[in-house]
Structure 1
Amino acid sequence: MWHQSSLNLVRTQDANAREKIHLLETMINRSLASQKKALARIKTRVEKVSFEDFMRLINIDSKNYISDYSIIKGVLVLDNELNYISGDNFSSSFYLNGMLEKPTIKLWLKRDIEEVQFAANSLTLDSDIPILMFLAPVKLANQSRFYILNLLDMNLLLEKSYLKYLSQYDTYLELTPNIYFSVDYKNKTQTDLNKLTSRYNHFITEKINVMDLVEHNVYTFINDYEAIHIDTIIDQLILWFTFLFIFIFVLVADSSRALEFSTKHDELTGLLRLKALEEEFLQLSSVRGCSNFATVIVKLDFYEEIHNSLGYEISDKILKKASERISINVDNRVLISKGINDSFVLYFTDTTPAILKQKIEALILDLSKAYCIDTFGFNLTASAGVVFYQTPESFNFKLNLQQANIALEKSTELGGNQIHFYQQLMDDKHSEKIIIRNNLHSALKNNELEVFYQPIHNLNGNQIVGVEALVRWCCNGEWISPAKFIPVAETTGQIVQVGKQVLNQVLHDIKKHSQLQNITVAVNFSTKQIIKDNFSIDLLHLLTQNNITYKNFTVEVTESSFQEKTSIEKTLLELINSGLNVAIDDFGTGFSSLSYLANQPANIIKIDREFTLGADKDTKERKLLDTIIKVCYDLGKKVVVEGVEDEKLITHLSRYKDIRIQGYFFSKPLPVDQLIEYIRAIQYK
């Protein structure tokens, strides 16, 4: 057993060293993928535009890019001959100092590859700021070619704070045979491998794969043997105490102990139940007088989808593995409990917000590693909500859990895979959401939602060719903005009921008023509605049942819905092929590129009012608006310009055949009775 214990200690050191290498590989690839994706978005945004628009857009994007990413030192724009076009102070200095003059660098820059590339700048590798270059070639509308070159500080490529818990290992990444980049705060880049290895007694070498493009050697050295010495002593003590414990346990164990354990612990994970957690903390605080404690709720993102699709056996195994990772990641002073469904509750004592944040981020990173269950492999992420208290008097089990859960909701609302600390403002917003959710539930139950309609005019002949149905809600004598209750409905799933109620009211109004039967009526649909089984079949059945002509009905989806394009594209194509119209609402608020329009399942584009601001004069904004309209026309799309309020812009837009306008210049959204009067007044003018 002593021999086995020693072997286990060696294996643990080896595993920890390799874990650091694997973490390094994961962090590098995530960071590179993120920067590549960000630059690809900029490339898509500025492709095929004029040189003036290209320079305007690149100046805006580069400022935002440098501001948003501390890793970005500068953004450089070069022409086809690698001549300087524009850049910030850092990139200008970088260019003027000849950092692109090396022949191999020039050859790399001018490679005939259209996608975003990256490479380390060999002239800077042994400097204080080694540079990683991201290159995006761009073709403008006149076919001229330019290069966007983002300059990244390799020192910031890694979140080194995540690796602090493995600080007993010094790690170096071999960039070239003469450059060994240190991934730790305390060490500097080395240039001689023999000198480097001579400083340590033991090390391991392993290759990492960078973006499936290149492999680099990584050297990890043990820098502190004190921890190993302590672990050896502890193993000896554990061995003797294990024998002692077994002896005592055999003497005193009985069935009551097993019953007591099962009462306090979760059957699946072996962790404390919530009630037992409360008792344990009260006992701990009475003995030690805990201060500076925190309640943390950790939840696996997208666990519910796995449970629903693969069943409880697989999902239970994932939970068990997750509980094991949590237990390994935190020390024995932390109280851990199995929470509701896929959540875990942890109580930390004698800590600080900074230390706590570091520990939870490391825990989330570990929980995000792949889960291998039977023949399946799962990649999950985790979110956490934290509430921190400074005095033991703040302990209130239900309140602690409630506030931590509010912080957790904030993490999941923002996409998950992150941590948020509770703030009083969250409580206020949470309370407001609960009030809206409850009141909306009553409103749906009592059919209190109303539908207003905003006319859509065709400037050629000043005819009303359509209306958009907009939901309105008056609660306790006060109108609630859709911007408030629609996001809540999306989160709670009530949006499906809201959409159903709005659709029924619209069908009733069309059937009742003949004026609505000869124009197009547009209704907004949530992605949650469209992805439901048989959505298109059910909608077509309702329209047929109410004698509504397909061509006079428009399904509107927001541009952001196309982030889930694969799940709704087929349905929208079915609707178009059946004779219905499909409109992309608020175009320009989600994607800035025109290139994706060609293959979208929509025959109507509604240009957001953002593109009309400043377009009443002969400005760049007007040229951009004109470009969007012309592209839409070239693709055979009908165009509705939203938010038009200026007569000069109306005059300008009237030059376009069949252009359609929706905005306060003509009319605000109206109740159906006022809408009918408005239509009659226009007809008799």
Structure 2
Amino acid sequence: MDTPHIKSIDDQMNVQTHIFDMLSVIITKHIADAVFIMEEVNDEFIYKYVNQSALDIVNKSADQILGKSLSEVMDGLGQKLSGLYRHAQKIDSDFRYRDLILKDGNSFYYETNLTSLEDHLSKQRYMIAVVRDVTDEENEKNKLRNLHEHYQSIIQHNLDAILTLSDRGVITSVNQAAIKTFSAQSDQLIDQTITALFPAGAAFNAVNCIQKAVTEGPHELHFVPAETADGTAIVVHAKFIPIIVQDQPKGVFLIVRDATDEQETKEKMDFLYFHDRLTGLYNRQAFSSHIDKLSELTSDTHSILCLNLDHFKKLNNTLGFNAGDELLKKVAGRLRSILAGKDALYRLNADEFVYLLHHTTPVESKEFADRVLSLFQEPFTINSQEYFVSASIGISIFPLDGIQSEVLINRAAQALHIVKNNGSPGVGFYHDEMTQAFPNRMIMETHLRRAVELNELTLHYQPQVDLQNGEITSVEALLRWNNRKFGAVPPSEFIPIAEENGLIHSIGAWVIDQACLQLKTWALQGIKQIRIAVNISPKQFTQTDFDQVIMNALKKYQIDPRLLEIEITESAMSNMNTTLIMLKKLKKIGVKISVDDFGTGYSSLNYLRLFPIDILKIDQSFVREIQSECKDAAITKTIIHLAHSLGLEVVAEGVEEIEQVSFLRNEQCQKGQGYFFSKPLPSEEMEKKLLDIV
């Protein structure tokens, strides 16, 4: 490119003046960029013209610049700028560069365009520098650069494998986690199709997800089988995220997380959820799940055999918990030994086992049951001692006797109950007449539905007496039903009916309400700081809003939560996770929590360790025999000492004799409850008793 020439005009002497005047008007009025025009004199660049924008940039006046050299005006930058100007003179085109200038603590970016000119007549050389403020542009570039680096950081340093795919599933880039997850170098993955990472079935699903991600939005797959470059099988979670550029899909991000360990953990959790921890057999949850699936798959007949050990409770109390557990494991081993591959064996609770026999007739199930009972002809060796144990079996048939797990278990249990009443061991089938075991059961259920409405339900109160000083600081509320047709109906008859038909929830709420009302009534009469314990049904305890029922009653009567005690049985705590959640809610409210009939259930010590319990109630079966049975006395002592070591209060139930009181007092049991002190009393009589004490 030729260096631009200034054409001559008539007045050669005024050529420079004319040009400068003309440029001054144009530059001053029409150009916002800073313009510097310099003349080269004796190897120095002398400022000949600057516009106002140029003065603003260097923060100087025209007098401070015009006629001065570059080195004088620009101080320390003069040498650097001179070098750039010399370079611009050597090339045949404009020279452009950018630099950063700090001014008043702020950063400014400027772009300078240098143009070298030569006067054709005088051979005088000039340098024109046009400077533009590009701070906004550079800042925007920096933002984009930072965003890109952030984006790359998220991708490259992500713990999950991230692979960029085309809309056809071709891998275009991978991060370090992908290299680690799939045990491959990036060049082994890039340009491969996604199908190389998954076996056939999973690959089809992955390709399908890519298409769905592009057309519908993000998709994901869980616990998908995949393969590393060296052929190792792994399991992953995979998310397919569309890459959208200007509202158009341009590919897919595949985000992969190795879930191999997670799946193993899930399998272990599933095993624990569906298996009994003591014996390793299936549990009640598994039985319900299997019966539900059975209903969906087949209408063939299947047999449910409910087996119960005879007198196990007594044996367990005599031998102790550890020996009882050992016996249950040995029983489970024998029962499993005759199990066919297509059938299943379950342990539902302490000594209740269930067989599910597929595709069997009643005759075949009876033959199998007899074979099961023959297993008990040989003794069980526990702690080097032989014990003979017998069993009874009740049988129900799917779908003839029901299709729901609870119905089938209950009906097999009804048959089992009849067998036991007739004298164990033996085998019995459920039949419809068993539902008439209580002739007026349906009528009783109808009456029970209106019991609250007709004021037939009442609460009686049995005091819990301090064994050291004889004071009464708590009572247990016991539900009574006096029906116009049946008279006084025992709780053992109407509570199971209420539990079966769901009435237990409304009746239980009524009991809690009445207990709080009683506390309010006593407080108004000067009877304060008396705690009422309320029995809670296992079914009632599983209500998701059970804590709200209690909260509402406490607020309604303005009762101190510490004066209400919630009694639960160990059977209510069979689902440990659900139980723990509800117990924590109750403790947050502030009520006391006690375990009724302690020592009769399974894994009682586990409950003490895990659950926020305040009070243990020793079952009356231990208390009754503490003077005649050394082992019952030893168990009672152990429970009391264990509770004390955990900071728990102990209440002994079924206290009927002075010798029992003396024993319990000597062992530092805090309270006793039973007919020795008082039978359960109507509210008026209990009120009088408490007022006499006050």
TM over 0.5: no
TM-score, length-scaled by structure 2: 0.43
Higher relative contact order (CA 8 A, sep 6+): 1
**Greater Rg by CA:** 2
TM-score, normalising length: structure 1: 0.43
